[in-house]
């Protein structure tokens, strides 16, 4: 299957107001980092094309964002934000007249984020936001915590939290849309079938820890370089401890 996804990092780097009260965080910096990690993660899946609604140097007007999504005919629109206005936790919005698919995506992302982050569950809500109303496809808007909350702000500024949110959003999307990891099909008709490590190899490929070769083999007896070894450690999440 193919899936065109538009990621919309809300606002721009210099949008007035959209920052923490102490000025230490600009909302766009959080939103765009989550978008960058989500794109990198999504591109590990077959048939996925990722578009950005935002740009790094200007605040793209909302109409321009949704016009482009409609023109490209993307399959799903995901708007990324950090909240403000008094409160704590995570909430995901759909339009009051949203499609069932929008609500399915929103519920999956909201539940996954709460499970992964342990933050307060503010639930799936409805709002007449431009990006939800003017998009012709399923659309959700995620508020990943409050910039004006003392507990949420340090998280929003923490790169590990941004990466966690991004990976969690992607995991939920891959489940809703049944996306397959690239290379996941390589385990058929190759040197893995019947091998003593077959099950482990299949798990490694399915989880994106290692991949096979384009010819369909895994290379069960090939040596591993030091560079490949640290890449595997990184994919297992073992290198992010204490490096914030």
Q: Which residues bind Zn ion (CB under 5 A)?
A: 10, 81
CB of 147 to Zn ion, least distance (A): 9
Q: 26: Cβ–Cβ under 8 A, 6 or more apart, which residues?
A: 13, 15, 18, 19
* Residue with Cβ nearer Zn ion (26 or 81): 81
Q: Is 45 helix (H, G, I), strand (E, B) or coil?
A: strand
Among the listed residues 157, 143, 119, 131, the one whose alpha carbon sits nearest the alpha carbon of residue 26: 157
Q: Tokens 């299949």 belong to which residue? A: 202
CA atoms within 13 A on the CB side of 121: 14
Find the shortest distance in angstroms from Cβ 59 to Zn ion.
11
Minimum distance of Zn ion from residue 91's CB (angstroms): 12
CB of 108 to Zn ion, least distance (A): 21
Smallest gap from residue 11 Cβ to Zn ion (A): 6
Longest dimension (CA), the chain: 61
Spatial distance between the Cα atoms of 10 and 85, rounded to a whole number of angstroms? 16
Return the number of the residue (46 or 55) whose C-beta is nearest Zn ion: 55
Q: How far apart are CA 82 and CA 88, in angstroms?
A: 11
Q: Compute the C-alpha angle 81/174/122, nearest 5°.
A: 40
- Nearer residue to Zn ion within complex by CB, 130 or 182: 130
Closer Cβ to Zn ion, 10 or 183, answer by number: 10
Least separation in angstroms between residue 141's CB and Zn ion is 8
Whole-number minimum distance, CB 166 to Zn ion, in Å? 16
Between the CA atoms of 145, 151, 156 and 161, what dihedral angle is there, to the nearest 10 degrees? -100
Residues 121/89, Cβ–Cβ less than 8 Å: yes
What span, in angstroms and rounded, lies between the C-alpha atoms of 109 and 53? 20
Residue placing its CB nearer to Zn ion in the complex, 85 or 178: 85
- Return the residue nearest Zn ion (CB atom): 81
Q: Which is nearer to Zn ion, 33 or 183 (CB)?
A: 33
Q: Is 24 in a helix, a strand, or coil?
A: coil
- Which residue, 129 or 218, is less far from Zn ion as judged by CB? 129
Cβ 26 vs Cβ 95: under 8 Å: no
């Amino acid at each position: 299957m193919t899936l065109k996804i538009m990621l919309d990092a809300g606002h721009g780097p210099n949008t007035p107001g959209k920052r923490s009260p102490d000025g230490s965080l600009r909302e766009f910096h959080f939103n765009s980092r989550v978008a960058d990690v989500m794109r990198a993660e999504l591109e590990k899946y077959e048939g996925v094309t990722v578009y950005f609604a935002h740009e790094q140097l200007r605040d793209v007007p909302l109409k321009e964002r949704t016009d482009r999504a409609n023109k490209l005919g993307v399959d799903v629109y995901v708007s990324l934000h950090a909240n403000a206005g008094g409160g704590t936790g995570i909430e995901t919005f759909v339009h009051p007249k949203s499609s069932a698919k929008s609500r399915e995506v929103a519920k999956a992302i909201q539940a996954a984020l709460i499970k992964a982050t342990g933050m307060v569950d503010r639930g799936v809500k409805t709002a007449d936001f431009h990006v939800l109303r003017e998009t012709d496809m399923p659309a959700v808007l995620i508020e990943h915590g409050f910039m004006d909350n003392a507990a949420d702000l340090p998280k929003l500024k923490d790169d590990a939290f941004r990466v966690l949110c991004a990976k969690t959003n992607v995991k939920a999307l891959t489940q809703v849309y049944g996306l397959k990891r690239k290379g996941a099909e390589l385990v058929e008709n190759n040197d893995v079938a019947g091998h003593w490590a077959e099950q482990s190899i299949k798990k490694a490929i399915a989880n994106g820890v290692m991949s096979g070769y384009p010819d369909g083999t895994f290379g069960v007896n090939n040596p591993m370089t030091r560079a490949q070894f640290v890449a595997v450690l990184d994919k297992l999440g073992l290198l992010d401890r204490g490096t914030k």
